[in-house]
Amino acid sequence: MSQRMTFTLWAVCIIAAIGFAFDTYELLMLPLVARDALRELGSVVPGTPQFAQWFGLLFYVPAVAGGIFGLLGGYLTDRFGRRRVLTWSILLYACSAFASGYSSNLWMLLVLRTTTFVGVCVEFVAATAWLAELFDDPHQRERVLGYTQAFSSFGGVLVAVANGLIAQPQHLASIHSMFGSIAPGGGAAAWRYTLMSGLIPALPLIIFRPFLPESPQWAAKRAAGTLHRPSLRELFSPALRRTTIITTIMVAASYGVAFGAIQQLQQIVPGLDTVQAKMAAAREGKPEAEAARAAAGVRTIAAANYTKSQEIGGLVGRFALAMLVVRIASRRKLLRVFVVPGLIAVPLIFLAFARGHDVVYQHWSLGWLPGFHDMSITLLGIGIFFAGFFTVAQFSFWGNYLPRAFPLHLRGTGESFAANVGGRMLGTPFAYVSQMIAYWVAGKEATLVEAAMATAKVAAGVALVLYLVNLILSWALPEQSADQTTNSSN
């Protein structure tokens, strides 16, 4: 029987949803700001080995650190409780994100992006374990996990909107003026304020913190002295070895598609003929420095618009998962609802990007709607919507699947291993893998357009291989029914 939603339960769900939203906000921020940050802090330009190296470092080092400390965070979640770890992890990544806007060199940016990533990795594990243990009714639990995780895609939409708004000269000047004497150095750079906006989730946390309860299941077992000490070795015991290995590989593949293909949009979009035409128009009649800034603004806004389409597709995909999760009993079949069509569609979508030509069906200006003032319906915009739909929905699947895949005393540790070792350490670095392969494919003397088209082709190949991996392994994934509570109370 479903529990009545009290103020306290609503407070937990709100904080978890905000945490999920800003997890994605932070993770998807770097592809939007990396190009400008590398150019300003290190005079590193796209298409060079230095760009590929630093782009990879900014993805790989935080991912490895996030995986290691996220795994430790999973252990701490099982050892000291869900609420405490979630609270401190949100504060860590919010404060680190704000400080990163003041970076004075690439190494400082790398360190602060690493601490931001650590907080994000720990928060996800604590939040999903916490929600899974607050609701006894399996259908209510599935719905709560599904719908709160859907806010992850709101985070993706929000970061695209925020970046697009901040990049507009009139807004950028206003924000810079608002900060006054404490404005970050390096001029009124949009990428700095985009990074600093990651402080926002700490504000509601401060308000709701006194109302947040500990997980009742975890607290009861600890009070009774029956809570087993978590052990990483136990994840590879005969009873859990298959679950641990299969979920880790499959989560890595899901993240690999997101970062090795979809999050390459920032590098692909500038090569499209429609964007090239807008950049040329923005440069016309301006001095060199002003022309470069104007073209960069056009490029940023265009990439943000395609990212909005992708994230809206991901949002719809997450809601579709939330509705299907209590209707399709087999977890394997539920996953294949998204993997099978994605295997066909996503590589074809990126091959379409590799042609370098987009078709505009409708264009309009919505001055009354912030972040959507200059929008178009385009062929590739529709395509990237569906790429987001099929790919991002899988993240909600794992958020529902993993909490019930491990015993209560290992829930944080097991989730953390799959999500952090698999997703963060093995999956996220595909952003770097794609960049390095694209650099090799395009060649040292490639133009901006040639480099962008090479990246699109590589993204198509990465998506094809990793979707195929998940389809094949879905037959080996340990099955769960929609109302199963296996291992939930051990």
Q: What is the pLDDT of residue 2?
A: 66
* 5: helix, strand or coil: coil
Gap between the Cα atoms of 273 and 287, Å rounded: 23
Q: Which helix (H) or strand (E) holds 155?
A: helix 138-167
- List pLDDT tens digits, range 102-156: 888 899 999 999 998 888 878 777 777 778 778 777 778 878 887 888 787 778 7
Lowest mean pLDDT among 150-159, 310-319, 388-397: 150-159
DSSP string, 414-448: HHHIIIIIIIIIIITTHHHHHHHHHHHHH-TT--H
pLDDT of 459 > 70? The answer is: yes
In angstroms, what CA-CA distances link 161 with 152, 154, 442?
14, 10, 31
Residue 375 has pLDDT above 80, yes or no: no
Confidence (pLDDT) at 489: 42
pLDDT of amino acid 487: 42
Note whether 248 and 422 are within 8 A (CB): yes
- Bridge partners of 374? 365
**Which candidate, 375, 374, 376, 379, places its Cα nearest to that of 358?**
379
Name the residue with tokens 């299907």.
324
In the structure, what pLDDT confidence band is assigned to residue 483 with cuts at 50, 70 and 90? Answer: very low
pLDDT at 227: 64
| Model pLDDT, residue 93 | 82
% of the chain beyond a pLDDT of 90: 25
Checking if the pLDDT of 408 tops 90, the result is no
Q: For the chain, give the mean pLDDT.
A: 82
Residue 441 backbone dihedrals phi, psi, to 5 degrees: -65, -45
Residue 406: pLDDT band with limits 50, 70, 90: confident
For residues 345 and 386, the answer to whether their CB atoms sit within 8 Å is yes
Which pLDDT score, from 0 to 100, does residue 131 have? 80
Model confidence at 231, pLDDT cuts 50, 70, 90, reads confident
- Note whether 32 and 304 are within 8 A (CB): yes
pLDDT grade for 461, boundaries at 50, 70 and 90: very high
With bands split at pLDDT 50, 70 and 90, how would you rate the model's confidence at 397? very high
Model-level pTM? 0.75
- Name the band, by pLDDT with cuts 50, 70 and 90, for residue 371: very low
Residue 99 makes CB contacts below 8 A (sequence gap 6+) with 112
Residues 6+ apart with CB under 8 A from 70: 118, 121, 122, 124, 125, 416, 419, 420, 424
Could you read off the pLDDT of 431-447 as tens digits, one per residue?
888 988 998 898 878 88
At 185 the pLDDT is 66
Does residue 12 surpass a pLDDT of 70? yes
| pLDDT at residue 488 is higher than 60 | no
Please answer whether residues 279 and 299 qualify as being in contact, where contact means their C-beta atoms are separated by less than 8 angstroms: yes
Residue 251 has pLDDT above 80, yes or no: yes
pLDDT at residue 349 is higher than 50 = yes
What domains lie within the chain, and their CATH numbers? 7-473 (1.20.1250.20)
pLDDT of residue 230: 67
More confident residue, 338 or 449: 338
Token pair 């979009």 is found at 269
Which of 248, 296, 314, 390 lies closest to 46 in space, CA to CA? 296
Residue count (the chain): 490
Both tokens of residue 48? 């060079």
Alpha carbons 379 and 45: distance in angstroms, whole number: 29
CA atoms within 13 A on the CB side of 7: 4
Place 244 in a pLDDT band, splitting at 50, 70 and 90.
very high
- Provide the pLDDT confidence category of residue 369 given band limits of 50, 70 and 90: very low
Q: Which pLDDT does position 186 carry in this prediction?
A: 55
Between 247 and 233, the more confident residue is 247
| CB atoms closer than 10 angstroms to residue 3 | 13
Distance CA 454, CA 115 (A): 32
- Tell whether the model's pLDDT for residue 367 goes beyond 60: no
Kindly state the DSSP code that residue 233 receives in the 8-state scheme: G
pLDDT for residue 295:
83
44-98 per-position pLDDT tens digit? 776 677 777 887 788 778 878 887 887 777 777 777 777 778 788 888 888 898 8
* pLDDT at 340 > cutoff 60: yes
